[in-house]
Structure 1
Amino acid sequence: MAAFGRLSQMLWKSSLTQTRRQFSATAGGHDADSVGTWRKLTWFVALPMVGVCMLNTYLKAKEHANDQPPEFVPYSHLRIRTKRFPWGDGNHSFFHNPHMNPLPTGYEGHDD
């Protein structure tokens, strides 16, 4: 029985060593050309595209900065307050935007 235990330990250790050797042999196989290619793609494609996306977002936000909020329609199934919010006056949500989020009575600061 003890011989079986020693044999299984030897096989287990040898299989781990071979697996470890296989992984370590393939891990260092990066070619210098592929590293340079990915570095160039990062600097000349990915980062300029991030800049273009940032510019697009800025221009769209600037375009819609002076828009009026949508018309308030007091639907009975929307903005139901069965319990007060635990912050502020209890009527404003945590991420309340007075320009876009109406209260149950309408938008704040508008005489509509």
Structure 2
Amino acid sequence: MAALRSVFKAVLRSSSTQTRRQLSATAGDGHGALAEKWRMLSFLIAVPGVAVCMLNMYLKQTHHSEERPEFVPYSHLRIRTKAFPWGDGKKSLFHNPHVNALPDGYDEDHE
């Protein structure tokens, strides 16, 4: 029984060593092919995808009108429970008077 156990351990040891050698040899050979595959995927899929997205945004920007939407005083938007700690307390930190409305209308309409 002890002899069988030692033979079994020797077989396992040699097979695991051979498997490790095969895996490490395969990893070295496959690394270049994998890198080439990802490089080709980047050039064939990622670059054209970015170009299509840029074209889409350019076309949308050319058809975009500069008119701001009409102010509608919805009760669930622009809720101010306390004043902002800067300025007059009504405007957010990055307030744009042309785009961002105050609770009672656009900034330019009040002046």
Q: How many aligned residue pairs are there?
A: 90
Q: Which amino acid aligns with 2:43?
A: W
| Inter-partner Cα distance in structure 1 for 2:29 and 2:85 | 58
Residue pairs, 1:89-108, within 5 angstroms: 89-108=88-107
Task: Indicate how the Cα distance of structure 1 residues 110 and 29 shifts in structure 2: closer, same or farther if over 3 A, else same.
Answer: farther
Q: Which amino acid aligns with 1:101?
A: N
User: Does residue 41 of structure 2 align to residue 41 of structure 1?
Assistant: yes
Unpaired runs of 5+ residues, structure 1, are 1-17
What secondary structure sits across from 1:110 in the alignment?
A: helix
Q: Which amino acid aligns with 1:104?
A: P
Deviation at 1:31, TM superposition (A): 4.9
| Inter-partner Cα distance in structure 2 for 1:29 and 1:88 | 65
Unpaired runs of 5+ residues, structure 2, are 1-16
Deviation at 1:65, TM superposition (A): 4.3
Task: Indicate how the Cα distance of structure 1 residues 30 and 88 shifts in structure 2: closer, same or farther if over 3 A, else same.
Answer: farther
Specify the alignment match of 1:80 in structure 2: 79
Specify the alignment match of 1:10 in structure 2: none
| Inter-partner Cα distance in structure 2 for 1:32 and 1:40 | 12
Q: Percent identity?
A: 56
Conserved in 1, the CA contact under 8 Å of 2:84 and 2:90?
Answer: yes
| Higher fraction of helix | 2
What secondary structure sits across from 2:106 in the alignment?
A: coil
Runs in 1 of length 4+ with deviation above 6 angstroms? none
| Inter-partner Cα distance in structure 2 for 1:95 and 1:27 | 53
Task: Indicate how the Cα distance of structure 1 residues 52 and 77 shifts in structure 2: closer, same or farther if over 3 A, else same.
Answer: closer
| Inter-partner Cα distance in structure 2 for 1:34 and 1:76 | 57
> Per-residue displacement from partner, 1:21-52 (whole Å, max 9, x unpaired)?
68x82754525344323212212321121122
**When the two structures are superposed, what TM-score results if normalisation uses the length of structure 1?**
0.58
Q: CA RMSD in A?
A: 2.9
**When the two structures are superposed, what TM-score results if normalisation uses the length of structure 2?**
0.58
